[in-house]
Structure 1
């Protein structure tokens, strides 16, 4: 016995000293704090409610914005990174070595199945190939604007916003934008109108609410310190897993009904009369896709089209509510294009007009930089690898690239990285200048880059232009940043309550429109005082003041329009060619 004790005592003491050294050693390099046996789990549990801020702080403090995350013994280790070179390595250079992986796929399998966002290899390539044909069609962009967005704005979004403005009712703008996006994506991809703007019928929005709940509960699985926990709950069907099962059942029934009706209609007509994304998958050449896979496609498309767009817009309007200067600049650009088109205030813009909204494009991109709809994404490492910054990644580890943190890195965006500054996206002529998708991976990057990114900008610009032109939006409690719900997307936990008033800028726009129309008809310069005779002096002064202010901020745009012989309003208050 004494011999055994003599042997075990120094071994135990050595292990204790080793663990204490790991725990308390000074000057350890920046990263996630690691404890013996339990790894990084304790600090993760302490900060899980502020996961994005905490992980951003850790990555910011590290020289290469990369840190290793150690799970408890028996768990899977991983790497967090916000370094563009590492992101390019993961998403492009060594793309085949970093798939979604079985861990990620299993967490979302119940909800997304084998859809494009939850599959790898040949199955992912098949879906990507089929979808790319549809998204690259010019006719799809035209249909999106002419038959979907214009109709949704004119018949649904505008009436809802106007009624709230006239009645003084507090409106949850996030909820409105989610309904708008949900109806849009269903019409665009499946030729189905879910009617989510109908507030009087809960059945019309039940599946959308089930969709939101399924998304949130699936995301919750990622936050378990012990992955076995959610599997046990699922096995015994209790707690959050029971609610998830019920929500998924509702979502699946909705998707199955869309597919069933389309297949029945095709059978009766002998052919598919629609040219949409669902038709493309049903009629894929040399491929017979199962009903289950079609359902997974439907759910994945809704996830991409609804949550990302509405989430991005919600954060944008919160940012705008705290920066009236940006609102005025964006509003002026919209009004300027409105005058040029000759359309009535409130009419949706066409593709070319939206494309010309360079400043608005910058505003949306800046909002997405600070509040990306998908704040983090994970991959799995198939074989041992070394990242460009020297970090070792072992086989079987997960790797997480942190889009939210990347938008807050001084090394990428400068010392003003935490400021909402759309001008960082404009060149000296006021034209939008895109950045590398590896510095700005909001729409992913590499072979998996989002096929619908242009569609997303079209939809967001249409909605923002509509709202800014007609309404003054005031977010209640705007001084405090809304609490986010860490789901698959960065939704606001309590919505975005707003009060809004009808914007009087429509009259000012009409004044400018009248002035331009008269001068175009006469063919030479006219004095403002003659043209404005009989009009409201106060309205005219405000219109001129806005023009002069924006000319000083858009000197490059002003010069370009002179060179193009376009009518502009000059600082000496005369109209010239």
Structure 2
């Protein structure tokens, strides 16, 4: 019996039906999920396999470069420096999809000059900046356009007035003589270990409160009283730092729920507002704010003994901005300065040599203690000024800057910035780029600030961004140097500062302000002999 062969048409039809049936059985939701997962992880494996040892973060599907950022957030500034050294001075960070976290990061002085000076009008602080830094209110750091111009004119008139400059110089010397030196002397006699960063923050807090409010809170007293405002400001700066690197919706939700860093920020806000209100009330009650910055703002805002709500908010925002600028930046710069001197004793010897010439002019005896200096005497010291600049270069108190674009633009680096683009500037990394500061960029070398003629060498502010650049250049630069020189000269000339323990890690803290993460524990000793 013969068996007939199936026709080609019948075979094709059966194969098609079988294939469709198989596909139908496979393409279930569970299969599709498993297939997508396998594809995702195979793609990740492919990216890792081809990444080799690059420092450039992987741009993951959906997540972008956020995982690498979060892994390195504890060492953010050094991480950025590594990225720039490998990939050039401008880097485009890609955040999670659809969350608006893409931004340029740059340490290129040409880009800084373009954005901060040449095309200044196209790069305001912007609405996102003021939302992140909402605790500063409508103060000068957040303000743009006419509000900023008006506040800057006002602040410039006040801080530039000869009477105020004289007040700063006199008070700084008095505070060093009657507050800092006696405290350090007692610590030296006891052989006590102390966090020098904490001491300097207390000192500058007292100094700034006096300059802003006309009130000295006495935080530098030997009892080391708790300083709620200072603690609140530290908590606030850490929370604001985190806001830069998480999706806006996340921190907004945390703020609404009052959880995590946003809970600490809300508590800090209340403490800061309470302190400002009490300081204003105390100043008005005791009539002791004459000569302080508060004087002019109160006189401008009131015709009677009452300050209306809008005027009070203006004064509150202004004074909080001044407190941040005066307390944190100066103390942080000084803390890193003394740490760098401890690591570079030859630089300290040169400062002592300079101060020794002033001592001879003062006819100081070898047993004179303490030796103090007036602002006029310190103003002409080249090496001291150079050493402070070098410390601010390597450890800028504000290690990053943040700008937004209004219109599309092309940076000198060739990168295209879209409208509404975000740009982050790493001031910390700029100091560590060989193409900007030379092969010895990572070294503490004050001599780079001194010309062959022995004069101070000028460096463009787009390269040395410690005091900002362009129209927003810091108005308190001269005041900061006056205070830093008074403190630096008094400590260097009268005391030895020695690290209290080996292995204590001195490293930057991930915050808006470049505090030392764990402080710096030291022993203070009186100088044994004349320099």
Q: Which runs of 5+ in 2 are unaligned?
A: 1-18
Stretch deviating more after TM superposition (272-281 or 253-262) = 272-281
Which one of the candidate residues 338, 342, 348 is aligned to 1:327? 348
What do the CA deviations read for 1:518-556 (whole angstroms, capped 9, x no partner)?
Answer: xxxxxxxxxxxxxxxxxxxxxxxxxxxxxxxxxxxxxxx
**Cα distance in structure 1, aligned partners of 2:47 and 2:68:** 15
Contact in 1 for aligned 2:139/2:317 (Cα 8 Å): yes
Stretch deviating more after TM superposition (251-260 or 420-429) = 251-260
**Cα distance in structure 1, aligned partners of 2:189 and 2:298:** 46
The alignment of Structure 1 onto Structure 2 pairs a total of residues equal to: 494
Cα shift at 1:347: 4.4
RMSD of Structure 2 on Structure 1 (CA): 3.0
Which one of the candidate residues 164, 184, 187 is aligned to 1:164? 187
Q: Secondary structure at the match of 2:244?
A: helix
Q: Map of 1:44-443 to 2, 5 A cutoff?
A: 44-63=69-88, 65-75=89-99, 76-109=101-134, 111-146=135-170, 148-200=171-223, 202=225, 205-224=227-246, 226-263=247-284, 274-284=290-300, 290-342=311-363, 345-443=369-467
Contact in 2 for aligned 1:259/1:294 (Cα 8 Å): no
Partner of 2:11 in structure 1?
none
**Cα distance in structure 2, aligned partners of 1:126 and 1:2:** 74
Compared with structure 1, are the counterparts of its residues 348 and 26 closer, same or farther at alpha carbon in structure 2 (3 Å cutoff)?
Answer: closer
Contact in 1 for aligned 2:214/2:291 (Cα 8 Å): no
Which one of the candidate residues 481, 484, 493 is aligned to 1:469? 493
Contact in 1 for aligned 2:348/2:492 (Cα 8 Å): yes
Contact in 1 for aligned 2:63/2:96 (Cα 8 Å): yes
Q: Secondary structure at the match of 1:291?
A: helix
**Cα distance in structure 1, aligned partners of 2:53 and 2:444:** 34
Cα shift at 1:208: 2.2
**Cα distance in structure 2, aligned partners of 1:191 and 1:133:** 18
Compared with structure 1, are the counterparts of its residues 335 and 175 closer, same or farther at alpha carbon in structure 2 (3 Å cutoff)?
Answer: same
Q: Secondary structure at the match of 1:325?
A: helix
**Cα distance in structure 2, aligned partners of 1:283 and 1:335:** 45
**Cα distance in structure 2, aligned partners of 1:410 and 1:186:** 40
1:458 corresponds to 2:482 = yes
Cα shift at 1:82: 0.7
Partner of 2:3 in structure 1?
none
> Rg bigger for which structure?
2
Compared with structure 1, are the counterparts of its residues 26 and 184 closer, same or farther at alpha carbon in structure 2 (3 Å cutoff)?
Answer: closer
Cα shift at 1:349: 1.6
Cα shift at 1:219: 2.4
Q: Secondary structure at the match of 1:283?
A: helix
- TM-score, structure 2 length as denominator? 0.86
**Cα distance in structure 1, aligned partners of 2:395 and 2:277:** 33
Q: Secondary structure at the match of 2:92?
A: strand
Partner of 1:562 in structure 2?
none
Cα shift at 1:475: 1.6
Stretch deviating more after TM superposition (423-432 or 207-216) = 207-216
**Cα distance in structure 2, aligned partners of 1:27 and 1:86:** 30
Q: Secondary structure at the match of 2:425?
A: strand
**Cα distance in structure 1, aligned partners of 2:219 and 2:461:** 33
Q: Secondary structure at the match of 2:463?
A: coil
**Cα distance in structure 2, aligned partners of 1:30 and 1:392:** 23
Compared with structure 1, are the counterparts of its residues 206 and 60 closer, same or farther at alpha carbon in structure 2 (3 Å cutoff)?
Answer: same
- TM-score, structure 1 length as denominator? 0.79
**Cα distance in structure 1, aligned partners of 2:296 and 2:119:** 31
**Cα distance in structure 1, aligned partners of 2:270 and 2:393:** 35
**Cα distance in structure 2, aligned partners of 1:283 and 1:478:** 53
Compared with structure 1, are the counterparts of its residues 328 and 232 closer, same or farther at alpha carbon in structure 2 (3 Å cutoff)?
Answer: same
**Cα distance in structure 1, aligned partners of 2:317 and 2:502:** 38
Compared with structure 1, are the counterparts of its residues 423 and 20 closer, same or farther at alpha carbon in structure 2 (3 Å cutoff)?
Answer: same
Q: Secondary structure at the match of 1:57?
A: helix
**Cα distance in structure 2, aligned partners of 1:240 and 1:295:** 23
Higher relative contact order (CA 8 A, sep 6+): 2
Q: Secondary structure at the match of 2:509?
A: strand
